[in-house]
Structure 1
Amino acid sequence: MEEYFVINRHHTENESFQSVLFLEIKVVVLMLTVLYLLLLYGLYVPDWEYQIPIEASSSAKVYSVKCGVHGDTGPACNAVGMIDRKILGIHHLYRRPIYARTKQCSINSPDYGPLPPDAPSWCQAPFDPEGILSTVMATVSCLLGLQYGHIIVHFKDHKTRLLQWFVHSCGLVALAGHRIWKQGEFII
């Protein structure tokens, strides 16, 4: 998408073109990130159910997952899974999610295995790791990669490149640090 704008703008090597181009990418990245955060932390995730077919019969066992929360990032009650279940449908999601390997869901953790006797109801629930909301942040990662690639192409001086990368990186590190500090999970 971004390359389309570059081709259609009679590319020049002046700094104003580069500044406008970089500003457009930053605005799109900011808008997508805000959209992602608003959906992730703002959507209410209600209780939900899913079914697992029983091998010996034609019936299915119904599991109920209790949620009723905003902003949960755990595997059971996050907005990412809710959006995928509502839009894609639960039958189109990955049936062996990676969280089935956690201590809560597998006796053989960190590998797949039988469920522990006190396993939560969400352990066998389908989940799509590359779902709709996850794709938004994948797009942000691609746009940031384009931003850093354009710095390589448009700035020939190494000091200018390092300064550009340093400024962009400091903003991203500050944003991540603020989020980690706010959650109280500061990891060194």
Structure 2
Amino acid sequence: MTTPRKISSNAARRSEASRRAILTAAFDLVHEVGYAKLSIEGIAARAGVGKQTIYRWWPSKGTVLFDAFLMLSDEPDGEAALPDTGDLEADLKTVLRATVAELNDPRYDEPLRALNTEIAHDPELAAAYVERLDGPMKELKKQRLRGAQRAGQLAKDLDLDVAVEMLWGPLLNRWLQRSGPLTPEYADTIVETALNGLLPRR
């Protein structure tokens, strides 16, 4: 009675080991050779699996890369939250500075750019990105802003979706277009401009 369960358990472990090997191989290879030269064949060879093993789980190299990024960006404890010290400006600066550091990390730059390119051309991947990564992350950001609203630090009728775009959009735009340096000081300026507004103070 126990033999089938053992076989099933061993197969599941082998399957998960293969999956992680594939995702790690995809992430490493795109950094080494670039997305244009990344191939299912190359990923399979690096991971030590057959091409059909990859195609059984993913329809394209873009979807493999997306899952690879998700695997490496998972929180160790399974939870994530923006800091809430009671000082909204300081907390937002901390988060945007961390975003700057990640975007400037050479290990993440090429995979992230490749992923953004694929999202722009693949509606199914774009939908998966919104559902599995962008949507949940946006909700975490909005939760922090809701806390600031409850504390009287932000207007109660503030459009939180627009607020999130105002805070994180400039960073992503500058990174994607390579239109200027991404620095902690630039992150601070975004926060200060968003919170203090564009109109002169009375």
TM-score, normalized by length of structure 1?
Answer: 0.31
Q: Which has the higher contact order (CA 8 A, sep 6+)?
A: 2
- Judging by fraction of residues, say which structure has more strand: 1
Larger radius of gyration: 1
